Each structure stands twice: as structure tokens, then as C-alpha cells.
């Protein structure tokens, strides 16, 4: 009896498992940031961030926090939606996007995120008439963080 190994099928399964693991990491980081924002907005949240299940849209005192909701614009924008949109109707709108990447690729990924969301940033600031800023949260796969991450996190309520 002869057995054949389908290398393509084996590689495909491994690739699928890796993608699932990366998506879980993205969601955990984004969920932690959302949990911190909700605590700052004085909403009732779980004691442990890893038990937090984000709601799609939260409105409190003129501030909206949207979890992975496409921003409706007049133009078709490819890079839509970011992970979290935090819209303070009077002052600013933060487009928060998360990336977990190879440790040697942190600066490139930040530049990529800033340029990818530039059209959305311009469109949102024009439509909603508020200052808009893209806040990239870039973390290396092994836990490395970029130099500007602290400054980016300072922009977020609760400073995660």
C-alpha cells in the first residue's frame, strides 16, 4: 500500500491556522483598547479585559465608539473600516487601526497604515467637520513595539 502526501494541502492548513492565530491576536489587542475606552467613558465593563465583548456602536454624551463598522462616506474608499472609530462630535475623530507584524517591519507597517487611511481621514474630516487623526497601533509578533506607540496611545481615552 502506498501513501501520498499532498504538500499543498498540508501547507494550506498551516497557513489557515496561522491566519486564525493572527486574527485572534488582532482582536485581543483591539478588544483591550475598546475596553479601555469604554472604562474611560464610564460604561459598565467586565473586570477583565479579555472577557470584554465589544458592542458595534456605543453613544455616550456626544461621543461614539464604533467597533469595526464601515464609515459611510460620499466617496468609495477602499480602506474602510478601521478597527475602532472614536468620534467626539465636537472635537476630534480617531481612526484606530491595529497591526501585528514581523518585528523588523514595524516602521514600514506604520507608514503603510497612515497612507492607507489618508483618504478616509480626509473624507471624514470634510463630512463631519472635525479634526481627524489616524492612530496606528503596531505591535511586533514577538512583542516589539515601535517608538511612536506611546505617543499614539496618549491620544486615546484612558491611555491603554
pLDDT in tens, 41-82: 888 888 888 888 888 998 888 888 898 888 888 888 887 788
Q: What is the pLDDT of residue 21?
A: 64
Contact 151, 135 (CB under 8 A): no
Q: What backbone phi and psi angles, to 5 degrees, belong to 36?
A: -65, -40
Taking Cα atoms as reference points, which of 44, 46, 37 lies closest to residue 159? 37
Q: How confident is the model at residue 94 (pLDDT cuts 50, 70, 90)?
A: very high
Sorted by where each starts, the structural domains of the chain and their CATH numbers stand as 7-154 (3.40.91)
Q: What is the pLDDT of residue 93?
A: 92
Contact 139, 148 (CB under 8 A): no
Q: What is the pLDDT of residue 6?
A: 47
Residue 133 has pLDDT above 50, yes or no: yes
Average pLDDT over every residue of 116-136: 92
Residue count (the chain): 160
Tell me the whole-structure pTM to 2 decimals.
Answer: 0.80
Grid cell in block for residue 113: 497604515
Q: What is the pLDDT of residue 134?
A: 92
4 burial level (CB within 10 Å; 0-12, 13-18, 19+): exposed
Grid cell in block for residue 93: 475623530
87 burial level (CB within 10 Å; 0-12, 13-18, 19+): buried
Grid cell in block for residue 100: 501585528
Average pLDDT over every residue of 11-38: 74
Say which range, 19-28, 103-112, 132-141, has the weakest mean pLDDT. 19-28
- CA distance linking residue 9 with residue 15, whole number of Å: 10
Q: What is the pLDDT of residue 17?
A: 63
Amino acid at each position: 500500500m502506498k501513501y501520498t502526501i499532498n504538500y499543498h494541502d498540508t501547507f494550506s492548513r498551516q497557513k489557515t491556522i496561522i491566519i486564525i492565530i493572527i486574527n485572534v491576536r488582532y482582536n485581543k489587542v483591539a478588544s483591550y483598547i475598546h475596553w479601555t475606552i469604554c472604562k474611560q467613558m464610564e460604561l459598565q465593563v467586565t473586570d477583565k479585559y479579555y472577557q470584554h465583548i465589544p458592542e458595534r456602536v456605543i453613544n455616550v454624551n456626544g461621543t461614539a465608539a464604533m467597533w469595526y463598522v464601515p464609515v459611510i462616506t460620499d466617496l468609495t474608499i477602499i480602506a474602510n473600516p478601521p478597527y475602532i472609530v472614536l468620534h467626539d462630535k465636537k472635537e476630534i475623530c480617531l481612526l484606530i487601526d491595529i497591526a501585528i507584524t514581523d518585528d523588523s517591519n514595524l516602521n514600514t507597517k506604520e507608514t503603510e497604515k497612515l497612507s492607507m487611511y489618508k483618504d478616509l481621514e480626509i473624507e471624514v474630516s470634510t463630512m463631519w467637520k472635525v479634526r481627524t487623526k489616524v492612530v496606528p497601533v503596531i505591535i511586533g509578533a514577538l512583542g516589539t513595539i515601535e517608538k511612536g506607540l506611546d505617543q499614539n496611545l496618549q491620544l486615546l481615552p484612558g491611555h491603554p
